[in-house]
Structure 1
Amino acid sequence: MSDFQNEIIENNDAKKKLSPFQKLSSAQEQLKGNILEFCKTHQKDEHAIFVIEGDPGTGKSVVINSIFNDLQRLSRSKESGDIFSGKENYLIVNHPEMMKLYKNISEDFPYIRKKDFERPTTFINKMHKLKKRADVVLIDEAHLLLTRPDKYNRFNQNNHLEEIIKLARIVILVFDENQVLKFKSYWDKNALLKILKGYPVKTFYLEDQFRMHANFDVLEWIKNFCARKVTHFPKKQDFDFRCFADAQEMYDLIKQKNSQYGLSRIVATYDYPYRLDGKEHFIDEGRFHLRWDLSKPDERLPWAERPDTINEVGSVYTVQGFDLNYVGLILGPSVLYDTQADCLRLDPARYEDGAAFAGKDGLPHPEKVKEQIMLNAINVLMTRAVKGLYLYAHDPALREKLLKEQSERN
């Protein structure tokens, strides 16, 4: 982990972590140069697509925002003759918490304006109404784009990405199939390739981990867990990775870490009832009793940055895309350990996110996809932490297995 990336993550202001002025790694600089050259090469083509892939924490959003700042600076520059001058560019993200962050960032940089950021459906409907086409569109978290019509979101076409490509000359997108969370936005590599077929496409894979200050064995443990394997605990290291027999004890430590370092929160798998009815809904695990995060769409700050959310339990939807210093993760009733098969077992019937499984028409093997979505959510939740990850399992067998593996580690 390089010193400058440490500085990024140590800072408790999420805006600064995603700032376009953050120093990039050599791989990120190479990617940025490749993309700007790609834009120059294809500026007069009908369509061209650049795909950025990488695991959580590899700095995809940092690169996207840095490129967007450069494009908008050149677009709004008074110097004539630059090929990017006067271009109409947008950054799209289908994530309300990330949208808050991007719009907050725009306040600090003269070339970026709030109107440059759009949700995908808003962008599509606006461009169709104006009968216009954008020059360059950047899409963060493209794996959250809809893959079917959605009346609730006023999206009447078949696929967000398909429509955005029609409405832009160049599309630059961030994609990670292991962060797909809903049937209505179900993506895999084949689905992406099908949409991109026939267009000029370039792909770049970011590999270096910049979020988690952890050794490779921690990252490997998480990957194994999300592949249903509960393996030996990683060796003790600076990254504080442990499991707890008591959820309240874990929460007490999270509060202590939050007082010391900030940005430390409790999160949980979506296994506890929650409704958007304005009421408080609680998670109970023994002595632990804490409410789910309250929906505050008009709140200026994202959930992860609000001080009061230390008194709430976050979901995958409130923390996806964000860094937290310490994370206490409650693995709820849907996450089980099969002692005979020695592997993780999932029970979709106990998963309380009904919206995630709405609209299975046309999906091959929907039951299999359900379990993959649940594993994806665990992957997102386990990869938010910079300094430490704590686990508590509702299932007694899983809790016992985790504690046993922890007691036997070096």
Structure 2
Amino acid sequence: MANNAATTKLAPNQHKLSPEQQALVQRIMQFTQHHLPGSTPAIFTINGDCGTGKSVILSQLFYELQQAAHNEHSQFSGTKNYFLVNHPEVLKVYKQMAGPEQNVLKKNFLRPTSFINQLHKRHERADVVVIDEAHLLLSQPDHYNNFYGDNQLTEILKLSRVVICVFDFHQVIQTKNYWDQEMLSQIVAPYPHAEYDLTHQFRMTAGPELIHWMDAFSAGELLPLPVNTRQNYDFRIYADAESMRQAIVQRNREVGLSRIVATTGYPSTLDGGKHYIHETGGFHMPWDQYNYTQTPWAEIPETINEVGSIYTCQGFDLNYVGLILSPLLYLDPAEHRIKVDLSKKTNNEMIKRRTDVTDPAQFTRMKHQIILNSVNVLLKRGIHGAYLYAHDPELRKALLQSYHSLN
């Protein structure tokens, strides 16, 4: 597969939108046209799980907005529009896309903090703001990212006439970005608001029964694998991590864009050095390194020799993904449920304390949910296949028993 696979996926007109997607783009355009003249900001939210085409819709929508903004006969003529995403690797993809597309410029694409600070400094208000991966917006102050407000969506609404954003609460993977439906509903309540739920799976060729199994697994429930698990989808469970790595390397040789990823729970520090994951079968690979290039991590050929994390893989399509479940995740034999052992955490940034959550039990549930969300995100990266290995012996044994029962 070509190295610009992710860019091609998001480029407008590269893939024909489904009738539902086309209708949604037009509905949002009408919503935007209706609310642009108003003095009160309006917000349109799209809800959808991994692979339901959210980013493709936003990409096409923004392309059409920008064409209309440069058409003197359009009601959008002269509008100043921005596309925001709080994920540096995904932002690289959008900036790559901007070059060849007429009237879609690199400067239109920003991180949310950059947008907020720039418009405050210029005392300006944007017309239309499109936000991909809105579940990654900061929902508390974060001095490391130069954000000193209480909530990025609240600040963006103050600086915009119309906001269009996508949310997937199953992709919330840090406490500083924590979102749930109640929090979102409270923020949008004062504004004109419309929403739409996407349910059709576009990324994965897996059947609905296997996707349901993955959703249950990511919620801590270990169901028997469905009998049609491998129909139109290459799903495998491995007894050792090295065999899985070798299979992913082979898939990468055959079709490209296949990578090993892992959940947090192995030592890693952004200190410029390599930090290795050691697992069964002689598995020995370093975590992904900080990517200083303009090419997304997943599209760099050499990263077949690294283990991807939630930070480098969220929002990306892979052809095949090999997922290592770290020591944080284990099977409770008494309840036959997948649980999280926070004593084995290695990423403190992922579950930093929130001052607005004072109930210790509530905060513990939040942290557990965030770890399980990362499983959901990583497990669903593969378009054509997902391979799975669990560090915990009991969980690995249960997965293998279920898998072998299919044969």
Structure-2-length-normalised TM-score? 0.96
Secondary structure at the aligned position of 2:144 is classed as: helix
Contact conserved, 1:54 with 1:176, CA < 8 A, in 2? yes
Could you tell me which of 184, 199, 202 is aligned with 2:194? 202
Match for residue 3 of structure 1?
none
The aligned amino acid for 1:407 is H
Q: What is the deviation of 1:342?
A: 1.1
Does the CA contact (< 8 Å) of 2:3 and 2:300 recur in 1? no
Match of 1:292 in 2: 287
Is residue 36 from structure 1 mapped to residue 29 from structure 2 by the alignment? yes
Residue 397 (structure 2) pairs with residue 400 (structure 1): yes
List aligned pairs for 1:10-409, cutoff 5 A.
13-21=5-13, 22-45=15-38, 46-77=40-71, 80-234=72-226, 235=228, 236-286=230-280, 287-296=282-291, 298-363=292-357, 364=359, 365-409=362-406
> Structure 2 CA distance, aligned partners of 1:361 and 1:182?
14
User: How far apart, in 1, do the equivalents of 2:329 and 2:208 lie?
Assistant: 24
Q: 1:355-378: CA deviations, max 9, x gaps?
A: 011132112511010000001100
Identity across matched positions, percent: 46
Q: Helix, strand or coil: the match of 1:328?
A: strand
Q: 1:11: Cα distance to partner?
A: 9.2
Q: Residue 280 of structure 1 aligns to which amino acid in structure 2?
A: K
For structure 2, the residue ranges without an aligned partner over 5 or more in a row are: none
Q: Tell me the distance in 1 between the aligned counterparts of 2:295 and 2:219.
A: 34
Decide whether the 8 Å contact of 1:27 with 1:206 is kept in 2: no
Taking the aligned partners of 1:65 and 1:240, their CA distance within structure 2 comes to 29
RMSD of aligned C-alpha atoms?
Answer: 1.3
Letter in 1 for 2:285: L
Contact 1:232 1:409 in 2 (8 A): no
Asked if structure 1 preserves the Cα contact closer than 8 Å seen for 2:214 and 2:376, the reply is: yes
Once the two structures are superposed, residues 75-127 of structure 1 have per-residue CA deviations (whole angstroms, 9 ceiling, x without a partner) of 123xx231111000000000000000000000111211110001011100110
**Cα shift at 1:351:** 2.1
Q: Counterparts of 1:253 and 1:177 in 2: how far apart (Å)?
A: 32
CA distance in 2, matches of 1:405, 1:171: 45
Take 2:143 and 2:158, find their aligned partners in 1: how far apart are those partners?
21
**Post-superposition CA distance 1:322-351 (Å, at most 9, x none):** 100000000010110111211111112212
Query: Which moved further from structure 2: 56-65 or 22-31?
Result: 22-31
Tell me the CA shift for residue 217 of structure 1: 1.2
CA–CA distance in structure 2, aligned partners of residues 351 and 64 of structure 1:
35
Which runs of 5 or more residues in structure 1 are unaligned? 1-8
- 1:11 and 1:99 mapped to 2: Cα distance? 16
Matched AA of 1:325: N
What is the CA-CA distance between 1:68 and the residue it aligns to?
0.3
Q: TM-score, normalised by structure 1?
A: 0.95
Q: Aligned pair count?
A: 399
